[in-house]
Amino acid sequence: MELITIIVIAVGLAMDAFAVSVVSGSVYKQLHIKHALRMAAFFGGFQALMPLIGSLAGLSAKDYIVDYDHWIAFGILGAVGGKMIYESFKIKSVEDNYDPSNIIVLLVLSVATSIDALAVGLTLSLITRSIATAVIIIGLITFFLSYLGVLIGKRFGHFFENKIEILGGLILIGLGIKILIEHLLFQAGLAVW
- Looking at the domain assignment, is residue 192 inside a domain? no
- Looking at the domain assignment, is residue 193 inside a domain? no
pLDDT at 158: 53
pLDDT at 29: 65
Asked if residues 131 and 55 have their Cβ atoms less than 8 Å apart, the reply is: yes
- Looking at the domain assignment, is residue 83 inside a domain? yes
Based on the structure, what is the number of domains in the chain?
1
- Looking at the domain assignment, is residue 46 inside a domain? yes
Q: Is the dihedral of CA 141, 142, 143, 146 positive or negative?
A: positive
C-alpha to C-alpha distance for 157 and 162, rounded to whole angstroms: 12
Asked if residues 84 and 172 have their Cβ atoms less than 8 Å apart, the reply is: yes
- Looking at the domain assignment, is residue 88 inside a domain? yes
How does DSSP assign 47-93, residue by residue? Answer: HHHHHHHHHHHHHHHHHHHGGGHHHHHHHHHHHHHHHHHHHHTS---
pLDDT at 22: 82
Chain-centre distance for alpha carbon 64: 26
pLDDT at 138: 94
C-alpha to C-alpha distance for 162 and 86, rounded to whole angstroms: 10
Tally of residues, the chain: 193
Give 10-residue mean pLDDT values along the chain (193 residues): 83 85 75 87 94 81 69 78 78 55 82 80 78 92 94 73 72 78 67 43
- Looking at the domain assignment, is residue 66 inside a domain? yes
C-alpha to C-alpha distance for 36 and 126, rounded to whole angstroms: 34
- Looking at the domain assignment, is residue 132 inside a domain? yes
Domain of 19? 2-187
- Looking at the domain assignment, is residue 44 inside a domain? yes
